[in-house]
Amino acid sequence: MKWLELKLDTSPAGLDPVSQLLEEQGITGLVIDDEGDFRDFLEHNHQYWDYVDEELMQEKQGLCRITFYLSDDPEGYHRLAQVRMALSQLKAAHPEYAPLLLTMNNLEDADWENNWKQFYKPMEIGERLIVVPEWEQANTQGRIPLILNPGLTFGTGSHATTRLCLTALEETIHGGERVLDLGCGSGILSIAALRLGAEHAFACDIDEKCVEVAYENAALNGIDRSRYTVRWGDVLSDQQLKAEIGGGYDMVVANIVADVIIGLSGQVRPFLKEGGLFLCSGIIDDRAEEVAQRLREAGWDILRTRQSEGWFSYLCR
């Protein structure tokens, strides 16, 4: 089936009345993009981001847009005509809602949930690992396969920060270790540690979806729950989670963002055994020195610095 994708640009004052107009025409499932909401999200969620792409900022600048969809058939075009007439009347009565510009694209019906998979291919990491999507076949050529289905919620492992961590794990895990993965997402790092020979891993994330996804990925790699524990919660504030995590780990890995790593720097030590390692990544280049300094202030020695594509990781003791 084909669809018409309609984008309607209006002023901030016009968002609510235009949305109501569309709903009165029987059009629901509206997608609203608003610069104010975008900037409000950024302002109140600093802990989840360090860098916003300039192109994205430009795209959102001055944006008040409503996107909706109609079927590409006579019924859809009839409804579109009704919308245009109603918009014409609204614009005449309320010029402050301008521009009320309506643009249209024709879209083929697609399997949106699975379409992205065509872009996710096997990926060699360092000397020993190869990340293989669940739906792909790969010639491992003697490498250790890490089978992954991240779903739409978590990353695929292709981001530079994840590759930096996987490279560090490959060089550091020699067998029998206990590993703690903070901000685990799909579980890729802790599962990689287990595939490389770690004895046990504990993984957690603030997104509760991590539990199902990480356990499913562990199962794809033949890892059962006797070796792998996944929980969700905020390790910075959840005392019950901290108690369950316990201590005595050989390594803590955190691929998150700079502010969270800074917050963790003073709280990670109790999780580690004497001489244990703290591997942190997800640090954008313009905050790398700041994070390094805060790590040193918290008593960490930075043993190895890695960087790729403007991102940094630190291996600390």
Q: Would you list which residues are annotated within the binding site?
A: 162, 183, 205, 255
Which parts of the chain fold into alpha helices (H)?
Answer: 15-24, 35-44, 54-60, 74-93, 112-115, 160-172, 188-195, 209-220, 239-245, 258-265, 288-297
Q: Pick left, alpha or beta for residue 248 (phi over 0 → left; psi -120 to 50 → alpha; otherwise beta).
A: left
Q: Would you tell me how many other CB atoms lie within 10 Å of the CB of residue 4?
A: 18
Q: What is the pairing mode between strands 228-232 and 302-308?
A: unpaired
Q: Pick left, alpha or beta for residue 49 (phi over 0 → left; psi -120 to 50 → alpha; otherwise beta).
A: beta
- Beta-sheet strand order (sheet of 101-108): 31-34, 64-71, 2-9, 101-108
For CA atoms 119, 121, 124, 130, give the dihedral sign: positive
Angle at 311 between CA 260 and CA 129, to 5 degrees: 100
136 CB-near residues (< 8 Å, 6+ apart): 120, 121, 122
Give the separation between CA 279 and CA 182, rounded to whole angstroms. Answer: 10
Give the separation between CA 172 and CA 104, rounded to whole angstroms. Answer: 53
Tokens for 112? 């949106």
Which residues face 314 on adjacent strands?
A: 280, 305
Binding region for S-adenosyl-L-methionine: 162, 183, 205, 255
